[in-house]
Amino acid sequence: MTLAAAIERSKRNREDWKYTDLPALLARRAQNAPMPITALPATANDDARLVFVNGIFHPAQSRFGSIPSCILMGDERSGYKLTLGEHTCLVAQPVELVFTTDESATDEIDINLSIDIGANGRLTLLERHLPSRAFSTIDINVTLHESAKFVHGKMTSGGAHIARTNVNVARGGYYSHFGLTRGGLPMRHDIDVHLMDEQAQAALHGVMLLRGGDHADITTRIAHNAPHGVSRQMFKTVLGDKSRGVFQGKIYVAPHAQKTDGHQISRALLLSDSAEMDAKPELEIYADDVKCSHGSTIGDLDADALFYLRARGLSETQARALLIDAFTGEVIDDIPVPAWRDLFRADMEGWQS
């Protein structure tokens, strides 16, 4: 995907992009100050970390730890391919993909990556985008073979970021996503999950933290194409200043996908009167024996709770931070990788201060 293609797609598909006017947002971005180039953050020494600089895999900065280096193939032109063989398990060693830029970065960086996990394989991978002045697109195509399991973390730190994650899940496979969106102008992430066979499962979780003139849009589509599929979605958005958040979530259930169990929830916390949240849940169900639901709430910080905390000595800043933590905690506490939990929390602390 390129920026031009993304704009084209947004124009062709107005309903899908109705809250995110890509050309207008990009025009606004041009007036913004450029982003700093960040150094690689520290990490535990033995973690496998694959570093991409300006969209190109950089072996010298990378570390494979105990995972075989042949796990990653391809190049920036043909796209990268990460392959995990059958019964290969990389749960104990989470893989981190770090995307960063340097002085020689072009204005636009487009990345294509496919991830293929063989039957009964297990992968835990964090996709981490460091702040950059470049416009970045990332297209990830995930294939989970029978009973494969993938825990996919994604962190973005503002800037212009257009992402598409397309996931195919075979029988008994499980795709689990945890996203932390810190800002963005614009940020758009499409997550399309296709549950292709029986007992396939997906769980999408996300926290968006927006302020200033941020605009972030997460659009999910979960297609239940086979019986006995399970999907869970929980998205939490915190909006300050004049930021705008969008969550569009669609659950599709094919006619023969009986006994589907799909739930989706979006909750937003508005910290300012000028912030705006648009939530559009959608159920498209063609089977009759299913359990599906969606819910969406948009609210302010609870004034009674704020007073209660302050009456016990917490400063207003502390009280607000505690309530925001409590709000996002429902997602963060569920992250199965302790190191990611710490990372997400640290990132959120940085956002609040």
Nearer to another protein, 313 or 338 (CB): 313
Q: Is 334 in the site for another protein (CB under 8 A)?
A: no
Helix H or strand E encompassing 22: helix 22-30
**Quick check: 133 binds another protein (CB under 8 A)?**
no
Cα angle, residue 142 at apex, residues 136 and 148 outer, rounded to 5°: 145
Kindly tell me which residue out of 330, 334, 347, 352 binds another protein, with binding defined by CB under 8 A. Answer: 330
Q: Of 58-66, 108-116, 296-304, 341-349, which segment contacts another protein by CB under 8 A?
A: 296-304
Output the DSSP codes for 309-324.
Answer: HHHTT--HHHHHHHHH
327 binds another protein (CB under 8 A): yes
Interface with another protein (CB under 8 A), residue from 322, 334, 341, 352: 322
Amino acid at 186: P
Close Cβ partners of 59 (under 8 Å, ≥ 6 residues apart): none
Q: Is the peptide bond before 186 cis (omega within 30 degrees of 0)?
A: yes
- Residue 318 within binding range of another protein, rule CB under 8 A: yes
253 token code pair: 């259930």
Among 5, 24, 27, 326, binds another protein (CB under 8 A): 326
Sign of the alpha-carbon torsion through 103, 73, 80, 97: negative
Residue 312 binds another protein (CB under 8 A): yes
Pair of tokens at residue 44: 């535990």
Is 297 near another protein (CB under 8 A)?
no
**In the bound complex, what is the minimum distance in angstroms from residue 227's beta carbon to another protein?**
35
286/308 with CB nearer another protein: 308
User: Is residue 315 a contact residue for another protein (CB under 8 A)?
Assistant: yes
Task: Compute the distance between CA of residue 92 and CA of residue 62 in angstroms, rounded to an integer.
Answer: 19
Residue 84 vs 324, nearer CB to another protein: 324
Rg (CA), the chain: 20
Stretch that binds another protein, among 48-56, 62-70, 200-208, 302-310 (CB under 8 A): 302-310
Q: Strands 276-285 and 244-253, how do they pair?
A: parallel
Residues that bind another protein (CB under 8 A): 302-305, 307-316, 318-319, 322-323, 325-327, 329-330
